[in-house]
């Protein structure tokens, strides 16, 4: 029996308090039409529900073309289950390369290589694919939700400037500053980290004159350590307006995220260029500089996790449920997993309340784990950076396993020999670049 498909049983037992047409589909209202909102819409539709999405922005969200990395098995699951189109371009690589600037010089030194299979996506193309998969849901653009209430029957009421409508389930997918979160987890305040992140996506033209760096990026994603922070660099598919406009490997952007502390009083936006000039190997500083100021956005880093993410009929998804420091590369991943979980509980649970409670227990625990991991990563990779130039393969492996503290994460694939305890690596030696 399922919550979404078997409305007669759910209503007969009074779990949603609905009266009227007991055979009608479950009604789900989603607040926010970004990654989490569109993924929740796909989940609801696949579970047989009637879904309405309210999105505050009038603009096409596809224009937010930054990089998003997801684990390959999740990508395969989303394609297999109809959330993503198999034709959505991705730029998969299997290796993470750690670099730093050679002391006293301007060249790069490779510290280590780790097995790290990832599926880099373009945020805008990911959103577009989810939006298309959601199909004919009611997607209301330019429709900010002004309040969420509850009917005497137990259903949620979503109110906008134009109307109020009742839903069996209300999904708060309204992002990191979620107003819905305040109803589910009142009093929760995001905890700021003492540093910022600059995020950019720049045309591959910025790599003209840097063929070694381009070749490296075609097979790996790069972490560049410097005193007081690090940057990550990886290729993502370009959109229709980038490169040759196609969907093949010829159309790529270079995505980056650089973590560090802008000095007091400095204009944080352009500071990434100074930081790169001071600490990066010359080639990487040049690449960031060529990206221009237009390409980069500077965000404060903060995290928060709602201790509960469901209070029927409300539930939280994506950043509304919890925001982790971006080092874990899991904000969108979590939103996608939230959707898969929502579909599963709606399909396999007899009544809506129990379905949402199951969702809440599972997803809050996953969020807590990621927030803790993000803090450990931020501490180790920005707040108390190691002496990068003294490190080699073994030191990076040991140090990073310490950061993971016995947990598993998709950005680090444990080598079989290490898992077995031998410590041997059998990898190409780390060398100069
Ligand atoms: C530097 C950086 C790197 C990252 N890298 C990765 C990565 O590699 N992998 C990964 O998985 N994640 C990554 N993330 C995280 C990821 O980008 C976010 O977690 C994800 O985009 C959040 O999606 P969302 O739908 O929950 O929230 P949002 O995208 O913020 O969407 C919320 C939506 O709700 C709408 N909204 C808000 N209020 C209302 C209202 N009242 N009424 C109607 N609509 C409303 C907004 O307009 C918005 O469209 C990264 C983040 C950063 C900052």
Spatial CA neighbour of 299 closest among 361, 257, 266:
257
Higher-pLDDT residue of 410 and 414 is 410
pLDDT(11) > 60: no
CA–centroid distance, 323 to ligand 1, in Å, is 9
Longest Cα–Cα distance of the chain, Å, equals 76
For residue 254, the SS3 value is: strand
For residues 238 and 219, give the distance between their C-alpha atoms in angstroms, rounded to a whole number.
Answer: 17
**pLDDT reading at 204 higher than 80:** yes
- Whether ligand 1 lies within 6 angstroms of the CB of 296 is answered as no
Rounded to whole angstroms, what are the CA distances from 401 to 370, 382, 406? 16, 17, 7
pLDDT at 227 over 80: yes
Q: Which domains does the chain have, with CATH numbers?
A: 7-61+125-190+303-377 (3.50.50.60), 67-122+193-301 (3.30.9.60)
Q: What is the DSSP letter of 292?
A: T
Determine the average pLDDT of the residues in 15-21.
Answer: 36
pLDDT for 293 beyond 80: no
Going from the Cα of 403 to the center of ligand 1, the distance in angstroms, rounded, reads: 26
Q: Whose CA is nearest to atom 3 of ligand 1?
A: 326
pLDDT at 251 over 80: yes
Contact in structure between 252 and 237 (CB atoms under 8 Å): yes
For a mutational test of ligand 1's pocket, the pick from 124, 146, 332, i.e. the residue with the most ligand atoms closer than 8 A to its C-beta, is 332
Taking only the tens place, the pLDDT of each residue in 97-107 is: 999 999 999 99
Residue 10: the pLDDT is 37
Residue with CA closest to ligand 1 atom 37:
174
Residue 258 corresponds to which tokens in the numbers above?
Answer: 């650089």
Which of 79-83, 218-222, 249-253, 383-387 is predicted least confidently?
Answer: 249-253
How far is Cα of residue 330 from the mean position of the Cα atoms in its chain? 4
Read off the pLDDT band of 416 (50, 70, 90): low
Q: Does position 205 have pLDDT exceeding 90, yes or no?
A: no
Residues 225-241, mean pLDDT to the nearest whole number: 94
How far is Cα of residue 376 from the mean position of the Cα atoms in its chain?
A: 18
As a whole-number percent, the residues of the chain with pLDDT over 90 amount to: 77
Cα–Cα distance, 140 to 223 (Å, whole number): 40
| 62-98 pLDDT per residue, tens | 666 689 999 999 999 999 999 999 999 999 999 999 9
Smallest CA-to-CA distance from 177 within 294, 299, 62, 260 is with 299
Q: In what order do the strands lie in the sheet with 310-311?
A: 138-140, 50-54, 27-31, 169-172, 314-316, 310-311
* Cβ neighbours, 10 Å, residue 161: 8
Higher pLDDT, 419 or 285: 285
Per-residue pLDDT averaged across 137-155, rounded? 96
Residue 105 contacts by C-beta under 8 Å, 6 or more apart in sequence?
A: none
Measured from the CB, is residue 175 less than 6 Å from ligand 1?
yes
Å from CA of 430 to ligand 1 middle: 36
What is the pLDDT at residue 292?
Answer: 67
What does the DSSP assignment read for 46-114? HTT-EEEEE-S--S-GGG---EEEE-HHHHHHHHHTTSS-TTS----EEEEEEEEEPTTSSSEEEEEEE
23: pLDDT strictly greater than 60:
no
* Banded model confidence at residue 4, pLDDT cuts 50, 70, 90: low
């Amino acid at each position: 029996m399922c919550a979404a498909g078997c409305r007669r049983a759910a209503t007969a037992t009074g779990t949603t308090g609905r009266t009227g047409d007991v055979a009608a589909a479950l009604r789900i209202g989603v607040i926010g039409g970004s990654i989490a909102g569109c993924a929740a819409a796909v989940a609801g539709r696949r579970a047989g529900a009637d879904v309405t999405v309210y999105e505050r922005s009038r603009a096409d969200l596809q224009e937010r073309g930054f990089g998003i990395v997801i684990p390959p098995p999740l990508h395969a699951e989303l394609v297999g289950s109809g959330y993503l189109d198999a034709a959505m371009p991705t730029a998969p690589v299997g290796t993470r390369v750690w670099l730093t600037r050679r002391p006293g010089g301007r060249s790069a030194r490779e510290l280590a290589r780790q097995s790290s299979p990832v599926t880099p996506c373009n945020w805008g193309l990911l959103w577009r694919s989810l939006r298309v998969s959601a199909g004919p849901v009611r997607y209301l653009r330019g429709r900010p939700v002004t309040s969420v209430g509850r009917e005497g029957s137990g259903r949620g009421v979503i109110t906008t400037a134009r109307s109020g409508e009742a839903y069996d389930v209300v999904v708060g997918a309204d992002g990191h500053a979620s107003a819905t979160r305040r109803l589910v987890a009142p009093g929760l305040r995001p905890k700021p980290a003492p540093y910022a992140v600059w995020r950019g996506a720049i045309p591959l033209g910025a790599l003209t004159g840097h063929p070694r760096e381009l070749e490296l990026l075609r097979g790996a994603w790069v972490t560049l350590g410097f005193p007081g922070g690090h940057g990550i660099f990886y290729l993502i598919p370009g959109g229709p307006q980038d490169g040759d406009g196609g969907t093949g490997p010829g159309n790529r952007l270079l995505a980056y995220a650089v973590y560090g502390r802008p000095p007091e009083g400095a204009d944080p936006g352009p500071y990434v260029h100074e930081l790169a000039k001071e600490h990066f190997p010359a080639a990487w500083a040049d690449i960031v500089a060529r990206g221009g100021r237009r390409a980069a956005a500077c965000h404060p880093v903060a995290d928060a996790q709602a201790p509960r993410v469901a209070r029927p009929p409300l539930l939280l998804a994506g950043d509304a449920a919890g925001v982790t420091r971006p080092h874990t590369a899991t904000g969108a991943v979590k939103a996608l997993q939230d959707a898969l979980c929502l579909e599963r509980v709606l399909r396999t649970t007899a009544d809506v309340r129990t379905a949402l409670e199951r969702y809440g227990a599972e997803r809050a625990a996953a969020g807590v784990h990621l927030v803790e991991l993000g803090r450990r990563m931020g501490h180790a990779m920005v707040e108390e950076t190691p002496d990068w130039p003294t490190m080699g393969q073994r030191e990076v492996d040991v140090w990073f396993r310490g950061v993971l503290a016995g947990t598993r994460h998709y950005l680090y694939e444990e080598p079989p020999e290490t898992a077995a305890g031998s410590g041997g690596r059998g990898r190409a030696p780390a060398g100069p670049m």
